[in-house]
Amino acid sequence: MSRRPRRSTTRAGLGKDLLELLSIPRVELTALLRMAAQLKVKQRRGIPHPLLQGRMLGLLFQKPSTRTRVSFEAGMNQLGGQAMVLPMGDIQLSRGESVADTARVLSRYLDAIVVRTFDHAIAEEWAREATIPVINGLTDLNHPCQALSDLLTIQEKKRRLKGIKIAYIGDGNNVTNSLIEVAAKMGMTIAVGCPAGYQPDQHIVDLARVEAQQTGAVIEIGTDPLIAVKDADVVYTDVWISMGREREQARRLKILAPYQLNERLLKRAKPDALVMHCLPAHRGEEISAEVLDGPQSVVFDQAENRLHMQKAILVRLLAKKKGSRKPPTVHGIEESHESVIV
């Protein structure tokens, strides 16, 4: 069982690490979105932005990855730094060295670490033991980088965040948990339709509802996908068999079959609703090919925005100067049409 995310009561900003999203102030989330939009403009215009020149990022992955690995590695290179992939099976962790000793050593070599693992407690241990920033690249409990990138996509397409309704359908997994966190922080509505036994983490839901009292967010957890999708601005789904759940495949396919995001379900949402999926997708399982490849789908824009958001996260964590409270900024471009509207 994954440990529950810790909530910081002492940090006013992003802090040393990025493990989950509920402890990050709304103003900092807004700053991340603005910086990601600005970095996206720079990258698309071919304007160099070596904000992290000379910095080294370690990618410590226990699970397979395409978007997380490539976006962080490419992003670090575009920022003028370097990234080093460290598969856990290739380092001494696989032969019994402790996380504590490994974290202390890597803190002498690197400037930050992205950890992609199973139990959320492992990512928390890395953050405790490392003296450099630790970024959660995915755990069984949270996927914060994905949810932040999703906010960037919704902001670009809908021109606002507050009041937007996200409907999440299917397996209430780590992506669902992080979407609930950001919805609560940004004053959005999220309606979850998942079968009993496959719903999001109750502790995260409870904490998010406390946050929602301050932001005006609405969090609805139910079992009926038709109710969840009604009048949604965004309809979101994810794979039914997450990494580490392969042995449950037959049972999951049967139980989740009524939760497929298809044209019939999509018609319950607003006519201009966005279709989102964090990929990889299994056409014909959690989503039909017609919907995934249809005109309302923004899944590849969503995937691209992983690059720009990862870069913003890296800059906000690594470009801080000792003795300065002023956050890093991106100079040399005017405010873009992709600015944050909350």
Smallest Cα–Cα separation from 197: which of 177, 223, 219, 220? 223
Q: Could you say which of 145, 278, 302, 308 is catalytic?
A: 278
Pairing of β 189-193 and β 218-222: parallel
Burial 71-92 (b: 16+ CB within 10 A, else e): bbbbbbebbebbbeebebeeee
- Residue 181's SS3 state is helix
Q: Could you say which of 34, 67, 143, 316 is catalytic?
A: 143
What are the φ/ψ torsions at residue 59 (nearest 5 degrees)? -115, 105
Cβ contact 160:227 at 8 Å: no
Q: Could you say which of 49, 67, 252, 306 is catalytic?
A: 306
Q: Could you say which of 55, 116, 252, 277 is catalytic?
A: 116
- The answer to whether residue 194 is catalytic is no
- The answer to whether residue 238 is catalytic is yes
Instruction: Give me the helices (H) in 98-201, please.
Output: 99-109, 120-129, 144-158, 174-186
- Residue 168's SS3 state is strand
Classify residue 340 by its DSSP letter: -
Q: Could you say which of 17, 238, 260, 308 is catalytic?
A: 238
User: Taking every pair of C-alpha atoms in the chain, what is the biggest distance, in angstroms?
Assistant: 57
- The answer to whether residue 146 is catalytic is yes
274: its two tokens: 């966005």
Q: Could you say which of 146, 155, 260, 302 is catalytic?
A: 146
Q: CA dist 116 to 94, 128, 264, 299, Å?
A: 15, 16, 36, 22
Cβ contact 338:34 at 8 Å: no
Q: What is the DSSP annotation of 57-80?
A: EEEEESS--SHHHHHHHHHHHHTT
- The answer to whether residue 278 is catalytic is yes
Cβ contact 309:35 at 8 Å: no
Strand partners, 245: none
- The answer to whether residue 4 is catalytic is no
Residues with a known catalytic role: 116, 143, 146, 238, 278, 306
